[in-house]
Chain A
Amino acid sequence: MGKVGKPEKLIENNKRLDGRGLEDMREMSIEVGVIKKALGSGTFRFGETYALSAVYGPKPFHPRFLQDPQKLVLKCKYTMAPFSTTERIRPGYSRRSIEISKVTRLSLNNVVFTEDYPRTGVDVLIEIMQADASTRCAGINAASIALADAGVPMKDLIASCSVGVIDGTIILDVGGIEDNYGEVDLAIATVADQDKFVLLQLDGILTKEQFMEMLELGKKGCAKVYEMQKNALREKYQTGDLDDTE
């Protein structure tokens, strides 16, 4: 976070600046159903990165000319809260947020059964409350939770995490300073813990071998995230049994 000067070394004795090992992720936490008025909602936290997501719909979709007579249309909106970073961010859309909204939508479109609700739309709102790198990953994870909570039919959950290169070494889950002074940042999202990639955004220069290694590492990270997502969803309803329904 913030404009700290570049540290001399980002890795010392196989330990990163925040004390993590090379393949350790930051502490993650998930909450389900935090917004009462939304049909579904969720939060996702990677250390200091905190994303909040709300899902409204399926509902009649506007503008009408974007409606699909056979399908449901996803509308994603990624925004960063003005107070999410050390320097204030102008509220509303920016070039960056429009891009991230789009890649989020394209990722989620892979798993939602769009043909189940023709002529409708779903609003997926993602707000980054606090940013410390990997915000798009946290956003996708939160949105995936919120969609499941809202009861939107989907093939599987989407799990996402980032992989990077700092000081020539491959690391999992890029943190704030590592993002600012690292060489490579690769955002990955997979369908569940399978080999199906739905997001791959690379910033930096690297070799083919490094790239393949990073993908493998990213998959491991996504599998961890996926596990947490499933547990969080189960926990919300694990308060009792429904023996005497119907």
Chain B
Amino acid sequence: MEENKDTESQVLVKERELVTPGDVLATGLDFLPSSGCYRENNKIKAKLLGLAKIKNRFIGIIPLSGVYVPRPGDGIVGFVKDMQSTSWIIDINSPYDALLVLGEAVGEFVDITKRDISVYYDIGDVIYAKVLNVTKSKHVQLTMNDHRAKKLSDGRIIKITPSKVPRLIGKQGSMIELIKNETKCQIIVGQNGIVWIRGEKEGLATRAVKMIEQESHVSGLTDNITELLQKGE
């Protein structure tokens, strides 16, 4: 009987099929639930509304909506929300605020009895930082110890749904490169769904990003974006 169960293992959904919470994705013990799935007895079921993703023995879901949950290594755009004697509290567009401690932010010795740390980052500043660590209870630590991390000035900031960030970036950054080349703008996309744009054609770039967000599940998006960008202002 036990062996029989193993042979029965099978995937019940196709790659990129739309699933709703509770849908059975696979049966048997040969598959493992990845993000967005859970196991109930010998069934793997969906937790979220999204698209099925099958990779070897792992079955997961790409969510279509939801909030940003930080993961170590993510590059994010955040807002300095508060300041303490040796750290900054950063709003990262997530249910959890992040902490940026002095040692991870500044590469030099700072005597806090003599120097106010607001000379480095002040409340209201926007930064591009990397997520260093996330504890089990979701306490988030950031670091500026990364070649891309910096303070962002000028430009404009727009928010998109965090789950649509991979679509905005495209395969190996193809989509974002397309916008950058056509508009000659500097664009930084945070994994948390905050996009920073600076350049002469900011308006056009903004329109393109918004369009990608709205039509992320429509096919032929790349062509539509190219058309929008070539038409120009």
Binding site for B on A (CB under 8 A): 39-40, 57-60, 69-70, 111, 113, 117-120, 148-157, 192, 230, 233-234, 237-246
The answer to whether the Cβ of B167 comes within 8 Å of any Cβ in the partner chain is yes
Closest approach, in angstroms, between the C-beta of B37 and any C-beta of chain A? 10
Query: When the two chains form their complex, are residues B45 and A60 in contact, meaning their CB atoms are under 8 A apart?
Result: no
Q: Which of B147-155, B191-199, B216-224 contacts A (4 or more CB under 8 A)?
A: B216-224
Segment touching A, from B64-72, B110-118, B178-186 = B64-72
Q: Are B171 and A157 in contact (CB under 8 A)?
A: no
Please tell me if B126 contacts chain A, counting CB pairs below 8 Å.
Answer: no
Q: Which of A57, A157, A244 contacts B21 (CB 8 A)?
A: A157
Verify if B18 is at the interface (C-beta below 8 Å from A): yes
**What is the CA–CA distance of A192 and B43 in the complex, to the nearest angstrom?**
15
**Partner of A148 from B16, B49, B163, B221 at Cβ < 8 Å:** B49
Extra contacts besides A237-B217, A240-B219, A243-B219 (10): CB < 8 Å: A119-B96, A120-B95, A120-B96, A150-B65, A154-B22, A155-B40, A239-B217, A241-B219, A242-B51, A245-B62
- What are the nearest 3 A-B pairs in CB distance? A151-B66, A156-B22, A151-B65
B167 partner, pick from A59, A69, A70, A245, beta carbons under 8 A: A245
Chain B residues with a Cβ closer than 8 Å to the other chain, count:
38
**A245-B163 Cα distance, complex, nearest whole Å:** 12
Evaluate contact between A192 and B67: CB separation under 8 angstroms: no
Contact B64 A230 (CB under 8 A): no
Least Cβ–Cβ distance between B172 and chain A, in angstroms: 9
* Complex contact B21–A118 (CB within 8 A): no
B63 (CB) vs chain A CBs: closest residue: A151
| B22-A157 in contact (CB<8A) | yes
Q: Are B67 and A155 in contact, with the CB atoms below 8 A?
A: no
- The 0/1 profile, CB within 8 Å of A marked 1, for residues 105-143 of chain B is 000000000000000000000000000000011100000
**Nearest chain A CB to B135 CB, angstrom units:** 10
Where chain B touches its partner, the secondary structure class is loop
**What are the residues of chain B within 8 A of A240 when measuring CB–CB?**
217-219
Q: Which residue of B lies closest to A72 (CB)?
A: B95
Whether B67 lies near A39 (C-beta < 8 A) is yes
Enumerate chain A residues within 8 angstroms of B216, measured Cβ to Cβ.
242, 245
Contact A156 B45 (CB under 8 A): yes
Contact (A149, B21) CB under 8 Å given A58-B95, A237-B64 = no
**CB < 8 Å neighbour of A153 from B48, B163, B218, B219:** B48
Q: Which chain B residues lie closer than 8 Å to A154 at the CB level?
A: 21-22, 47-48
B190 within 8 A of A: no
Is B36 part of the contact surface with A, judged by Cβ < 8 Å?
yes
- Whether the pair A150, B66 counts as a contact (CB closer than 8 A) is yes
Q: Determine if B163 and A151 form an interchain contact, defined as CB atoms under 8 angstroms apart.
A: yes
Please give the distance in Å from B35's CB to the nearest CB on chain A.
10
Docked complex Cα distance between A192 and B45 (Å):
12
Q: Which residue of B lies closest to A230 (CB)?
A: B20
CA distance A75 to B218 in the complex (A): 34
Nearest chain B residue, comparing its CB with the CB of A242:
B217
Partner of A156, one of B21, B136, B138: B21
Tell whether A39 pairs with B65 under 8 Å between CB atoms, given A153-B48, A154-B47, A244-B171: yes
- Interface set, chain B 142-174, CB cutoff 8 A to A: 163, 166-167, 170-171
Select one of B22, B48, B166 contacting A151, CB under 8 A. B48
Contact assessment for B49 and A155 in the assembled complex, using a CB-CB cutoff below 8 Å: no
Q: Residue of B at shortest CB range from A120?
A: B95
Per the bound structure, the CA–CA distance linking A245 and B166 in Å amounts to 7
